[in-house]
Structure 1
Amino acid sequence: MKNLEKIIEGIEINNLKKNFYKNEKLFKVVEKFIKKNKLILYGGYALNLILPKNKKFYKKYTESDFDCYSYNALNMAYKLGNILKKNNYKYIKIKKAKHEKTYKVYVGTVNVVDFSQIEKKIYNIFLSLHKIEKKKLIYNDNFILIPMALLKRNLHYEISRPEGSYYRWEKIDKRLKLFEESYFSDKKVKKKNFTKNPENLLKCKNMLLDYIKINKNPIIDTYAIKLLKNIKNINCCRFNKYSYLLQILSTTYKKTVKNIIDIVNKSVNKNKYKIIVICKTNTSSYIDILKVRTRIQLLDLENNNFINLISIIKVKNNCFSIQNKNGFVLGSYDTILCFLYSYYISYLIASNINKNRITSTLKDTQYNINFYEKLIKNIGTKKRYLKKCYGKELSKEDIYKKNWFKRLSLLKI
């Protein structure tokens, strides 16, 4: 059997090399285009670029797998298509990907690049962040890359979705370990003091926890630390006055928001606090899983301080892995890290828009990330890679039906 495996491996390597040398000039044209237009690389190719030579997972003869962000994605696809035509390539096709606002460019059967749309404001911030991060990277090329936090977020996102990505887990696990060994191995978690929870909100907090427990909404914030570590301190685990008391996921988003607002209205002293409900809808791809969320704040009428009571995040077209603890449903370690990194990126971007904003929130989110990453090192594979999940993943059949009446092929030249 081992001899057969070697024969098959030999054939696969031979085919990889043959395709690589056959398409080498084609990918050089694409590479030049990406660099010239300052497109931002993400995905496996970007990760492989910044790993040390002895940790790279792509072979020298592996064909390039380019995924790029652009604030003008479709136009970039057309522009590259015309350049490829001028270079005498045939059977060029541009088509929509299954992900919204992503466009694939093919030459024959070879997918040479994917272009994904982001806002120009976010694109410019990513450019600035790359200039800062490049000083720390083991990297000598002149591609522009997405922030390391987003590369990391995307890996946890894959591990947190058993229905959508289970078949990629072995590959993702290896890549994540290589990434962490190269850049994240020296993180330390210093013990922090908790910020005292207002005693007059204890009734409200307990009513919210009862609702969350009964309705099995996954908890993904620092309160999950309290449950996972069996911490008895009632103030656990807010690390500053801006920390949320609770953050949860919901597949019945509108109903959950309405019911929680009702609970807050019934349990909070209106003479002491003003209730503020902030509904956020963000279509930017960098925080796709935070696209729709509601934050409930309380304004203390005596001192004008804000308390972030709860954040409710809508789950749609994803099924995030979960675990049970003391009757509560919690996000798995990777689900929690996926959302923590998503928040971290959103705070990082906000701090680049306004330098004076949310510095402490950014630091606390990094602390929480470090805490969970330390925790995850001490658990086994079975406790980490969980099959049970919350939500509904779009199946191939769902995507097929969704796209049935859409014109997916945009250009053939």
Structure 2
Amino acid sequence: MKSNIVFYWFRRDLRLEDNTALFHSLKSGFDVKPVFIFDEEIIDKLPENDARTSFIYKTLHKIDADLKKIGSSLLVKKGKPQVIWNDLLKEHSCKGLYLNRDYEPYALKRDKEVTFIFEKAGIPVNTYKDQVIFEKSEILKKDGTPYVVYTPFKNQWFKLFDEKKHLIEKDSSKLFHSFLNYTASFPSMEDLGFKVSTITVVPYKLDKLFNYDEVRDFPALDQTSYISPYLRFGQVSIRTMVKYALKTNKTFLSELIWREFFMQILFHFPNVVTNNFRKKYDAVSWRNNETEFEKWCKGETGYPIVDAGMRQLNATGYMHNRVRMITAGFLCKHLLIDWRWGEAYFAEKLLDYELSSNNGNWQWAAGTGCDAAPYFRIFNPIEQLKKFDKNLEYTKKWVRDLNELTYPQPIVDHKMARLRALEAYKKA
């Protein structure tokens, strides 16, 4: 099929509304052919019934249905993006590629290779900022270096933030006539080699955010928004969320800024993916006991709040934020297991897994990160339970055998583990 078109490449921006690169592609003067690629480099590392794959598939199906209402379609492919774009360029007379920027190390490498393919063919690649308010080097210290402490970064974020400039939503609805008029059949899950997951993504609830600062630490209240997977895959734009947070809750806005802080840390210091941000902690002598790690993964540590969090994660792909801190701290400090083990397990299970935030928060918990909890801050899981789930409502929901003889004894004594961790970190 030959025609003068431009491609729009959906990635982590799975929406037709308020989508920067899509908006500009529709204004290009050419017909727009939207494409999504299930990248084998990513997909092949996941189980065939991964919940996130099912979530993306369901979202793409809805986008395709919306496009079919206006006489267009979404082209869905699976494979290596570089190979697929090479093939598509042979089939089409193309005038440009439009996409929103991604900042993770693998994405940067992939996008550089795809850009080379297009530019070699004399076709421009148009990239845009979309998933953040500030990107790359837009927020720097006076000496031109990136911030590595959150509070000064946040202060500068607010200093540079202009509601009129940064929260302009891109209304594409009047431009939908620019989508290419054609029909493509939408592949089934089986066609793509996927199976439907038994884990589903919960609908988000923004009405929960009004008193977020007062209730966010108490898992039994279940007063979090569940927005994170939708923000991760771009079903909701960051502009919409910041606008909403400004009106409702500044604490929630701070969480959105933490997300951008960790993104710029990853962009400027990509070695954090596999290395401690603070090199001095390279000398920590991790115990890395595989049996204890397995018990932590299964939620069988004998510490109820830790076990409740891990069992919630395994069953649903979610874990309450306060409980994430407790479970991560327990693995690193009580069991002296390398944060990278825990980070990889969360990456496999979390529906809202995002490399920058997962890495940043694990390094925070381990005390090895840029703006980390000091090494001597060691959460007492017994006190945390009393403080944040004193009636055991959350804990009993997930640890059904809490009062049974089958429930395990604590795998480690808190007092001993605390002293052991302090000693290991001091030595390092």
Range into which the TM-score falls when normalised by the shorter chain:
under 0.3
Task: Please report the TM-score for the alignment, with normalisation by the length of structure 1.
Answer: 0.26
Name the structure with the higher strand share: 1
Task: Please report the TM-score for the alignment, with normalisation by the length of structure 2.
Answer: 0.26
